Amino acid sequence: MTHVEQPVEAAAGSPATAAPPATWRDVVAAYVGLTKPRVIELLLLTTVPVMFFAARGVPPLGLVVATVVGGTLSAGSASALNCVYDRDIDEQMRRTRRRALPRHIVSPLAASVFGVALGVLATVVLLVWVNLLSAVLALAAEAFYLVVYTMILKRRTTQNIVWGGLAGCFPALIGWTAVTGSLSWAPVVLFLVVFFWTPPHTWALALRYREDYAGVDVPMLPVVASAHVVGRQIVLYSVAMVLVSLLLWPVASTGWLYPLAASVLGAVFLAQAVLMWRRTEGTEELSVIRPMELFHSSNLYLSLLFVAVALDPLITR
């Protein structure tokens, strides 16, 4: 992989000076950053618990490791290639301007090769050590994220994250198929939970950075609609998310732990969504609306819900 030196701006009235070359630590950190580790953490959080649920106990350790490695490589591949495609807008947005490509630590060609290599490795790992269906689903998720979301929807429609977010729902299916080798209604329900969770999660973040998205002409809903409209949509999707989450109880015949956790977590999250919506009445001030509170709560909600998915068969079987 090649990298280029970081540019520096010349001070006013003084000649430009060359930036010192990036150290090997800078380069390693840059490549790791291309994979968006925080996104990978979230994806694995919806993969491993489903494996426990599918196994109705503890799945084979080797299978878990292979699925985690394959899933990490696949998600990292999609993220790296997304960074290549979006490098023009990433350079202009506060939230993303410190990524490797905007900082010119890694070249677009090197990042592309890196992304493709991760995708090939992911497919090999899943094919050899997991199964064909899981490998196909991982490839489908990666292609959907890159083509449908990044290239087609993101810069064209306010529904970008609604339908583009489908790519982030696939880990629930992959975790299930890794254990069972087939699909059923239980992972589909969890797929839909993540589907309805994604808009509230992302729109809360987009409210915080709506000026960034507006500056690069990405029509996220908070850019083209008032905060009050966005808040109402967040509440509606949150209601759908909670209702769908409760479907797992009858569909998969869970024990008592999961429906209890889904009910409590859902009620708390709905209360927070409604509270944020009420704070949008008559104001666009972020200091009043506090959307990042809901964003962080959404991460906690999904984390605890899927922990309950994993623990339910262990505790209540």
Residue 33: strand, helix, or coil: helix
Note whether 260 and 274 are within 8 A (CB).
Answer: no
- Residues 97-108 have pLDDT tens digits of 888 899 889 999
- Residue that has been written with the tokens 């704070």 in this structure: 279
The pLDDT of residue 143 is 95
Residue range of the domain that includes 307: 184-317
The pLDDT of residue 19 is 53
Lookup: tokens for 59: 């799945």
Count of beta carbons in the 10 Å neighbourhood of residue 161:
21
The pLDDT of residue 37 is 92
Residue 38 to residues 60, 76, 181: CA-CA distances in angstroms?
A: 26, 10, 28
Q: How many helices (H) and strands (E) does the chain have?
A: 16, 0
Task: Single out the residue of 101, 105, 45, 36 nearest to residue 73, CA to CA.
Answer: 36
Same domain, 96 and 207: no
- Residue where a domain stops, chosen among 178, 206, 228: 178
Same domain, 12 and 134: yes
Which spans in 46-107 are helix H?
48-55, 61-85, 87-90
Same domain, 2 and 129: yes
The pLDDT of residue 316 is 80
The pLDDT of residue 195 is 97
Same domain, 158 and 261: no
Distance of alpha carbon 190 from alpha carbon 186, whole angstroms: 7
Is the C-alpha dihedral spanning 159, 161, 164, 168 positive or negative?
Answer: negative
- The amino acid present at 130, given as its one-letter code, is V
Task: Single out the residue of 181, 45, 67 nearest to residue 122, CA to CA.
Answer: 67
**Strand intervals (E) in 44-174:** none
Residue 159: in which H helix or E strand, if any? none
Residue 167 DSSP symbol: G
Residue 292: strand, helix, or coil: helix
**What's the structural domain count of the chain?**
2
Task: Single out the residue of 115, 296, 291 nearest to residue 220, CA to CA.
Answer: 291
Distance of alpha carbon 312 from alpha carbon 258, whole angstroms: 6
The pLDDT of residue 227 is 97
Same domain, 188 and 134: no
- Residue where a domain stops, chosen among 153, 178, 203: 178
Q: Tell me the Cα Rg of the chain.
A: 21
Count of beta carbons in the 10 Å neighbourhood of residue 148:
16
Note whether 47 and 175 are within 8 A (CB).
Answer: yes
Lookup: tokens for 195: 């589907």
Task: Single out the residue of 196, 193, 197, 175 nearest to residue 184, CA to CA.
Answer: 175
Same domain, 167 and 257: no
Note whether 30 and 22 are within 8 A (CB).
Answer: yes
Same domain, 77 and 144: yes
**CATH number of the domain enclosing 259:** 1.20.120
Q: What is the pTM of this model?
A: 0.91
Is the C-alpha dihedral spanning 112, 100, 203, 214 positive or negative?
Answer: negative
- pLDDT per residue as tens, the chain (317 positions): 433 333 333 333 444 444 567 788 888 999 999 999 988 888 889 999 999 999 999 999 999 999 999 999 999 999 999 999 999 999 998 888 888 899 889 999 999 999 999 999 999 999 999 999 999 999 999 999 999 999 999 999 999 999 998 999 999 999 999 999 999 999 999 999 999 999 999 999 999 999 999 999 999 999 999 999 999 999 999 999 999 999 999 999 999 999 999 999 999 999 999 999 999 999 999 999 999 999 999 999 999 999 999 999 999 86
**CATH number of the domain enclosing 114:** 1.10.357.140
